[in-house]
Structure 1
Amino acid sequence: MTKCLIAASILSANFACLGQEINDVIHAGADIIHFDVMDNHYVPNITIGPTVLKAIRDYGINSIIDVHLMTKPVDNLIIPFAQAGADYITFHPENTYHVDRSINLIKQCGCKVGLALTPTTPLSYLDYVLEKIDIILIMAVNPGYAGQTFLPVIYNKIQNINNIVKKQTNKILLSVDGGININNISKIVICGANILVIGSFIFNNTMPYIQTIKYIKKKIFIK
């Protein structure tokens, strides 16, 4: 039986009461907090920075936080986010001048490393770095906005990457982000996902968070 973790993407949360929103979704059963950082350069939107992450930690949030850097460049943000309390720092390889150097910097800061791949990012970026990374974040939408529709072509991409990482001796988690809902969750998990990044379906649902997450978890146990 395969268990898939739920990462609540706070991009869809109510920022007027962000600390309480995160606390509520964690108590409802979310395993990870997904922290989207956008710069109005790599993507056409601006979100949140290290100060907000520190405030979340100071509020008492102790859960795993994966900081997803949708920024260009990335290195100048790695240290402040690590100091603010990130557990994972995930970046898009095309946004750094030197992928290996950025990976090493994240590790030196004491965080685990993620590589994020957009729908059109070639898998060749994974060459020569698989033994150094902890998560591959597969974007099922083009980065920049919450509430987009899952791109069906991503099912094959998940399967292809899953076939690659199964050959590795180190454990690499496959995280899928974008357009996930109750109708496609099971297929995503069957394709090989270990982590489901879900925002709109959790935070914008009419059901309470605990009911929504219980409903999701019933769908992600695959025999």
Structure 2
Amino acid sequence: MTFDRSIKIAPSILSADFANFGQEIQAIEAQGADWVHVDVMDGHFVPNLTFGPALCKAIRPHIKTVMDVHLMISPVDPYIDAYAQAGADVLTAHLEAGPHTHRTLQAIRAAGCKAGLALNPGTPVEAAAPLLGLCDLVCVMTVNPGFGGQSFIHSQVDQVRRLRALIGDRPVHIEIDGGVDPSTAPAVVAAGANVLVAGSAVFRGGSVADPAPYGTNMRAIRDAVA
């Protein structure tokens, strides 16, 4: 997984048909997805419960691009190895999930994954500054984590701009998660983001039987930021 700042669209399978994950993943990749985003929630750190390591391991053979696993869980450290062994390429933990984020990022890299750091809307990006040397990706949440389909928090655009300045020339992706669609993507890309997580905005109107809308939806986001 080599680094470049080109725009990447990472559909969140939280919006996919749960009964057809393998086919859904094949469909979004065939329609132009760059990464596949997996939202892991524990019902504790966030008020929802989703996918464990076994699900990640089951879908891994279907993913030909990048498996981008977002851990909205606390504690994180006891589960890093399990998600790494399940095939995560990128493993993202929340700054707010525990007291020793530096150690968490070290552990993610030691497990063989790219290390991501996620920031909730209430966390200033400056809190990530001491950790950027251990980050391959910083995920700026543009909704409060826990549920798909929420409205984009526009004040986060300035957070992205400040984060981009902090990163400088370091090879660190800026990922946006929450409310991304053709109307919101241009502002975050202009501010410096290059990985766009989109759930309902990608999957809306399509299905395994009719995947063409997935491609149409992703092209609409790409065209909006072109």
* Distance in 2 between residues matched to 1:40 and 1:82, nearest whole Å: 21
Contact 1:3 1:220 in 2 (8 A): no
Consecutive unaligned residues of structure 2, counting only runs of 5 or more, are 207-211
Q: Which residue of 2 aligns with 1:81?
A: 83
Q: Secondary structure at the match of 1:208?
A: helix
Residue 30 of structure 1 aligns with an amino acid whose one-letter code is A
TM-superposed deviation, 1:51: 0.4
* Distance in 1 between residues matched to 2:96 and 2:224, nearest whole Å: 34
Indicate the larger mover: 95-104 or 131-140. 95-104
Tell me the C-alpha RMSD between the 2 structures.
Answer: 1.4
The runs of at least 4 aligned residues of structure 1 exceeding 4 Å deviation read none
* Distance in 1 between residues matched to 2:88 and 2:173, nearest whole Å: 17
Q: Which residue of 2 aligns with 1:217?
A: 222
Consecutive unaligned residues of structure 1, counting only runs of 5 or more, are none
Q: Which residue of 1 aligns with 2:154?
A: 152
Contact 2:124 2:159 in 1 (8 A): no
Residue 178 of structure 2 aligns with an amino acid whose one-letter code is G
Q: Which residue of 1 aligns with 2:171?
A: 171
Contact 1:38 1:47 in 2 (8 A): yes
Give the length in aligned residue pairs. Answer: 217
1:26-105 matched pairs, under 5 angstroms? 26-58=29-61, 60-105=62-107
TM-superposed deviation, 1:57: 1.7
TM-superposed deviation, 1:156: 0.7
Indicate the larger mover: 118-127 or 24-33. 118-127
Query: TM-score normalised to the size of structure 2?
Result: 0.92
* Distance in 1 between residues matched to 2:164 and 2:154, nearest whole Å: 16
Q: Which has the higher contact order (CA 8 A, sep 6+)?
A: 1
* Identical-residue share of aligned pairs (%): 41
Query: TM-score normalised to the size of structure 1?
Result: 0.93
